[in-house]
Structure 1
Amino acid sequence: MMDDRSKTVRLEDMFRDLPSPSASEFAGKRAIVTGGSRGIGAAIVQRLLDGGATVVTTARNASDETPKAASFIRGDIGTLAGVQAFAAAALDELGGVDIVVNNAAAARAHLGGISSIPDEEWINALDLNLLSVVRVNNAFLPGLREAGPGGVVVNISSGVALTPAPAVAHYAAAKAALNAYGKALASELAPAGIRVATIMPGNVLTPGADAIRQDVADAMGVALADITAGIPLGRPGDPRDIAEAVAYLASDRAQWITGASLVVDGGELPAI
């Protein structure tokens, strides 16, 4: 019989303090993180820094959340020219690369459904959520190969790639393509000892995702909290939840993992 106390777990009790990472876990490692100015990206940057890595990150603008210990390069990786400029500046600063984390992404909900999504937004979704990853990886692959076995690429996808909603069909389609691309890249790079993994976050509390959820909640006439109320583990995600998954996949603890797609969503996917 289920204990009734399981129904009264408070949200704040679910956000447990994380153990302190080893400051030598990524010592000597040089890391690239795209979209690292806030939210999930900033949490990933900070987690790699805490592990001893040297980190260069990029976004269109820095924010108060951007970790100060990282080197920030302002740029737009939504275009090939933007990626090339960022890669040149980052490699000039780092001298090489061991870890590449592709986190930059963007989406806008169209509550009128798929037919209401303009053609240019389909193109923009592919440019930023798929092609920017392809371009970034292509730009840094020579450096990863030069560093020798042990290089890691982690692509941040989304749970909507598996459970696409009409309002974000363009974003979901781009992320589904990213998943397929990641598996193909993993097969190609495995002989060189370079691993590739994909993380699919669920409902994580970030400014961008909160804005989309608010639009959906308003359209449904419900409270924002109702959108994430059904998550089995009892709370939406914290950016640190995704950062910890990245740290594991980027570490030697995951040295026999490549081509994998990890869902990090508090158990929401099986419940859908």
Structure 2
Amino acid sequence: MQHNQEYPQELAGKVALVTGGTKGAGKAIADRLLHAGAKTIVTARNQPEPSNDGVHFIAADLSKREAAETVASKVLEKFGRLDILVNNLGGAETHGGGFAALSNKDWEEALQINLLAPVRLDKAFLPQMLEKNSGVIIHIASIQGRLPLYDSTLPYAAAKAGLVNYSKGLSKEVSPKGVRVLTVSPGWILTDAAKRMTERISQSNNLTIEEATQTIMTALGGIPYGRPAFPEEVAELVGFLASPRAGYLTGTEYVIDGGTIPTI
């Protein structure tokens, strides 16, 4: 999928950070912001292979409390400021079996990665945004915030619901001071990890890839559009929301799910 060529350098001079930005939707978002002219920084636990020469990489495990301050100090020391923060890091590492199968550790890890890591990074970067009365914070949540899959990812779903609520509350506080805060809630995204999951379902159930894909879509209640999102489609939405074209948008959740959520 090609990036939109109409606004090639609309983020020129801006400094952007994408957490979890080395693979999947995070990598696509970083590429999109870089394409629009932003100086782009990504964080992840490990250096990507191959590395993207145009992107500055900072190794960080943001599930750890002290990591946000470390990342912020490195970004501000090297670049002097941050204009766009995309809290993309997230994950659902829990196993199936429902509530009874979940340990306290499962809950704590889900909350650290999906809710508290974004909160800590916002706290680290907001002061300099508020000082210059400008900035954009985008939280990547999930449609599971309102459509939880209780059998396998309940802690993730609950954490993402908390992120949506927190994002709205934060926007009310900081939007009058020039900082826009937005939420993007994707449905199923066709990342490399999603492809591997589909292959596992295919092999273990003796299904074709198409049948395995349909099985996943059925578990979600169906995707009217007929397929998962491409990472670049999510990135295109984030690129627009981060841009001056979206200057009046704040405090809102944008769902990109091919129609998966069945209600208004």
Task: Compute the TM-score of the two structures, normalised by the length of structure 1.
Answer: 0.87
Equivalenced residues, count? 256
Instruction: Find the aligned partners of 2:156 and 2:192 in 1 and give their Cα distance.
Output: 17
- Please tell me the root mean square deviation across aligned C-alpha atoms, in Å: 2.2
Q: Secondary structure at the match of 1:243?
A: helix
Match of 1:99 in 2: 84
Structure 2 residues not aligned, in runs of 5+: none
**Shift, 1:255, TM fit:** 1.2
Match of 1:158 in 2: 142
Is 221-230 or 152-161 further displaced after alignment?
221-230
**Shift, 1:207, TM fit:** 3.1
**Which one of the candidate residues 217, 229, 239 is aligned to 1:228?**
217
**Which one of the candidate residues 21, 24, 47 is aligned to 1:39?**
24
**Shift, 1:86, TM fit:** 1.2
Identity of aligned residues (%): 39
**Shift, 1:219, TM fit:** 8.2
**C-alpha spacing 1:125/1:215, structure 2 compared with 1 (3 Å):** farther
The amino acid of 1:155's aligned partner reads H
C-alpha contact 1:42 1:65 (8 A) present in aligned 2: no
Instruction: Find the aligned partners of 1:140 and 1:263 in 2 and give their Cα distance.
Output: 25
The amino acid of 2:246's aligned partner reads A
C-alpha contact 1:144 1:194 (8 A) present in aligned 2: yes
C-alpha contact 2:143 2:187 (8 A) present in aligned 1: yes
Match of 1:10 in 2: none
Q: Secondary structure at the match of 1:27?
A: coil
Instruction: Find the aligned partners of 2:128 and 2:137 in 1 and give their Cα distance.
Output: 12
Instruction: Find the aligned partners of 1:51 and 1:18 in 2 and give their Cα distance.
Output: 9
Are 1:133 and 2:118 counterparts?
yes
For residues 176-255 of structure 1, what are the structure 2 equivalents within 5 Å? 176-210=161-195, 223-226=211-214, 227-228=216-217, 230-255=222-247
**Shift, 1:104, TM fit:** 0.6
**C-alpha spacing 1:112/1:221, structure 2 compared with 1 (3 Å):** farther
Match of 2:102 in 1: 117
Instruction: Find the aligned partners of 1:210 and 1:253 in 2 and give their Cα distance.
Output: 33
**Shift, 1:147, TM fit:** 2.9
Structure 1 residues not aligned, in runs of 5+: 1-15
C-alpha contact 2:3 2:236 (8 A) present in aligned 1: no
Q: Secondary structure at the match of 1:174?
A: helix
